[in-house]
Amino acid sequence: MQKINRGSRFNKSVRVGVLLCLLCTVIVAGGCGSGESNVASGNREGILYWGNGAEPQELDPHIVTGVPEHYILIALLEGLVQKDAATLQPQPAVAERWRLSADGRVYTFTIRASARWSNGDRLTAHDFVWSWMRALTPKLGNAYAYMFNPIVNAQAYATGELTDFSAVGVKALDDLTLQVTLDNPTPYFLQLLDHYSMFPVHRATIEKFGSIGEAGTVWTRAGNYVGNGPFALRQWDLNKKVIVEKNLLYWDAENVRLSGIHYFPTENLTTEERMFRAGQLHRTSEVPVGKLDFYREQQPDSLRIAPYLGTYFYRFNTRLPHLADVRVRKALAMTVDREAIVEHVLRGGQQPAYSITPPDTLGYTASSDLRYDVLAARELLAAAGYPDGAGFPPVDILYNTFEQHRKIAVAIQQMWKQALNIDVTIRNQDWKVYLDTQANGNFQIARAAWIGDYVDPNSFLDMWIADGGNNRTGWSDPDYERLVSDEAPSAGSVEQRYAILGEAESILLDAMPIIPIYHYVSIHLVHPSVKGLPGNLLNNPNFKHIYLQAEPAAP
């Protein structure tokens, strides 16, 4: 899924409110009004205050693609399985159990008889069939439709080649039995099922406000939203906060220890860090680079840094004439000094990236010839018709509003000027606008990132097929698609599968429609009262297991 980091439109009134609250924190012990901070009252009332990084694009699981939306959707909705927050192993969720056929192709899920929607309606296997049909409806434009590709005929239906959904390998055998048939044994299939793109949605609610293929209707607003997760949507104040409260009709409500969650978008990391220090947040989305040493030395118990299965990269729009030339793309990629970026700009333990898939992803590591080589890059640019940058067309880097993205863009802007003598402008847009700009192809080079949706190299490679909704580069290659979509899924062993995926990634890196820059670590500030939030490779919380436990007051 797309890593946002920042990009909300935190309006003027909210900024003023935050500053006033911080001022009150200095004058009054605790915070504004009641004299009690969010953290103090939240610990007492079971309310988690969560820095979410951005205003969500939407709360429709079949539309969105980002991390900020993910954190809200996993509270409001639940799939057939969930991942253990520590081990990431699939566990029963809406499905209380399942069995797999001897040939590894047919899963049969038993839906919990106690599963309910937040309005009290019974949740059945038919809800999953209809929801997955919606997710694959071409008119809806689900960028994650390719997640369903392991299922028989799912890709054909999503592309419009097939119009009869009954031919897709998803069947409700009865109200509580769902059968899913795959083209080939898929070792990561269960991991897919807790991704929001495969969550069920409430059919009657969708149809009340629009058609099955209609995006952007008001069904996702508070008062309309019907979910099946551990929490229910109570309030969505655009550009301010999203509030969810415990769903008493959730099948496992007795084990949900939080009473609610307040999600806050923040305009910049400095504001968010101040909110944390003022006791207004239990957890931040990230940490300002300039504050890392302070927390390492003064408050190490609040600083959480962990490995994170993600890659920061730039997308090329290969539809543009000068960026359609692979020599130009390689020259630009070879003059990004990744070591300097991670050492001097980021300083959080990130690793330079020379492939899209992070090294040792479940035992897979790509082979890459990408290197920092200014002389070779100048030769390539000259061969493309731009000796010493002469005649190179105007080019810009697009990024979503966030100070760290700006710093990286400025660094790369300077690197390209110094190494290749080309002039580059940089421009920023808010998260929603930025997403639309990329989706419509109105960019030249765009900042991007990808966090694994599941722990498998396929999560980083299957999106670059021609019809992949998250590709957005204009690049495609039939050999790449054959390897990823046909040969890898039917490989006879893990070793064979990884070899095929490695061959595909070599094609991708040789064509260079993207510039890998660095591999992520997750960096957050977390209040010591937050329990049940272990780090994991996907940085994926399980909100139903989180609870708040204030430390005893000092005598």
Same domain, 498 and 539: no
- Does 536 fall in a domain? yes
Please, what is the average pLDDT of the chain?
Answer: 92
- Does 288 fall in a domain? no
CB-based contact 529:357 (threshold 8 Å): no
- Distance from C-alpha of 302 to C-alpha of 232, rounded to nearest angstrom: 29
Same domain, 222 and 318: no
Residues 74-118 have pLDDT tens digits of 999 999 999 999 889 999 999 999 999 999 999 999 999 999 999
Same domain, 357 and 458: yes
Q: In the predicted model, what is the mean pLDDT of residues 380-400?
A: 96
Q: In the predicted model, what is the mean pLDDT of residues 182-207?
A: 96
- For residue 153, what are the contacts with CB-CB under 8 A and spacing of at least 6? 162, 167, 168, 169
Same domain, 76 and 133: yes
Same domain, 432 and 355: yes
Same domain, 75 and 173: yes
- Distance from C-alpha of 389 to C-alpha of 417, rounded to nearest angstrom: 9
- For residue 139, what are the contacts with CB-CB under 8 A and spacing of at least 6? 213, 214
Taken as a whole, the chain contains a residue count of 555
User: What is the residue-wise DSSP string for 48-88?
Assistant: EEEE-SS--S-S-TTT--BHHHHHHHHHH---SEEE-TTT-
Distance set, CA 265 to CA 10, 11, 270 (Å) = 7, 10, 13
Residue 307 token pair? 């490995």
CB-based contact 106:182 (threshold 8 Å): yes
Same domain, 393 and 377: yes
User: What is the residue-wise DSSP string for 382-450?
Assistant: HHTT-GGGTTPPPEEEEEES-HHHHHHHHHHHHHHHHHH---EEEEEE-HHHHHHHHHTT--SEEEEEE
- Does 87 fall in a domain? yes
Same domain, 390 and 537: no
- Does 432 fall in a domain? yes
pLDDT of 6 over the 70 cut: no
- Domain region containing 248: 12-279+527-545
Residues 276-334 have pLDDT tens digits of 999 999 999 999 999 999 999 999 999 999 999 999 999 999 999 999 999 999 999 99
pLDDT of 27 over the 70 cut: no
Same domain, 396 and 378: yes
Same domain, 536 and 486: no
**Backbone phi, psi, residue 286, to 5°:** -155, -170
Using alpha carbons, select from 396, 392, 400, 389 the residue that is nearest to residue 424: 396
- Does 290 fall in a domain? no
pLDDT value of position 550: 81
Burial class of residue 94, CB neighbours in 10 A (0-12, 13-18, 19+):
buried
pTM here?
Answer: 0.86
Specify the CATH number for the domain of residue 21. 3.40.190.10
pLDDT value of position 21: 42
Residue 332 token pair? 């630009």
Q: Would you give the end-to-end CA distance of the chain in angstroms?
A: 47
Residue 310 token pair? 């993600």
pLDDT of 19 over the 90 cut: no
pLDDT band of residue 54 (cuts 50, 70, 90) is confident
The residues that bridge with 419 in the sheet, in sequence order, are none
CB-based contact 268:242 (threshold 8 Å): no
How far from the centroid of its chain's Cα atoms is residue 359's Cα?
Answer: 19
- Does 334 fall in a domain? yes
Same domain, 247 and 332: no
The residues that bridge with 111 in the sheet, in sequence order, are 95
Distance set, CA 229 to CA 265, 315, 507 (Å) = 22, 35, 41
Using alpha carbons, select from 397, 477, 378, 384 the residue that is nearest to residue 438: 397
Same domain, 351 and 264: no
- Does 318 fall in a domain? yes
Beta-sheet pairing, 231-237 with 241-246: antiparallel
Distance set, CA 107 to CA 241, 320, 416, 450, 510 (Å) = 39, 44, 51, 29, 38
Specify the CATH number for the domain of residue 352. 3.10.105.10
For the chain, give the percent of residues with pLDDT over 90.
85
Domain count, the chain: 2
- Does 302 fall in a domain? no
